[in-house]
Structure 1
């Protein structure tokens, strides 16, 4: 089964005098995670995303829509990237999700993928 592991983090942790070092450390940990996934034979894909300030959001309201600059989040955490992994079950997906580096505060949302055309 495929699961999407969505990384929500506070982008402000990368600002300031230690920001570049924190980013380099976090990226190195993501590379180590990718190597561990390969070594375990877990099919995966993933990407990092540019800052939330580069996003554009379309919000719908019963058929009409408005376009807004930026990510339209109600929190200080933004979607920073994601992995899509193929594992046997939710327990395995959660074990991999726990290994995702998130500096400072944040969360990883784990959600099963609902293939197009699939019922339930």
Structure 2
């Protein structure tokens, strides 16, 4: 089953792409998930200031800058994994480096 891991942390802590690419814990986690055949895709998200929110109400479109949610913890990236079950997804999320100081939310994907 496929699971989306939403990587949530405080975006005021700036980490460059270069720092992330050379961070041993992130590199090791990605290597393990890839070696186990679980990793499908993943990416960092640009800062929340670049977000656009779209809503349609009664046929009228409303567009606003920024996220809909008002929170300090924002989704800073995602990882898509193919896991045997939720227990395997939880184990993978617990090993993700951000879990040690932020949050990793797990959502199963609908299957067709």
> Shared fold by TM > 0.5?
yes
Q: 2:72 aligns with which of 71, 76, 93?
A: 76
- Structure 1, unmatched stretches of 5+, are none
* Length-normalised TM-score, structure 2: 0.82
Q: 2:87 aligns with which of 85, 91, 97?
A: 91
Which 4+ residue blocks in structure 1 deviate beyond 3 angstroms? Answer: 60-65
Write the deviation string for residues 50-103 of structure 1: whole angstroms up to 9, x where unpaired: 111111111344543311111222211111111110011000000001112228
Aligned residues: 110
Structure 2 residue 18 is the aligned partner of structure 1 residue 3: no
Deviation at 1:31, TM superposition (A): 2.1
| Cα RMSD (Å) | 2.4
Structure 2 residue 19 is the aligned partner of structure 1 residue 24: yes
- How many angstroms apart in 2 are the aligned matches of 1:84 and 1:111? 10
More strand by share: 2
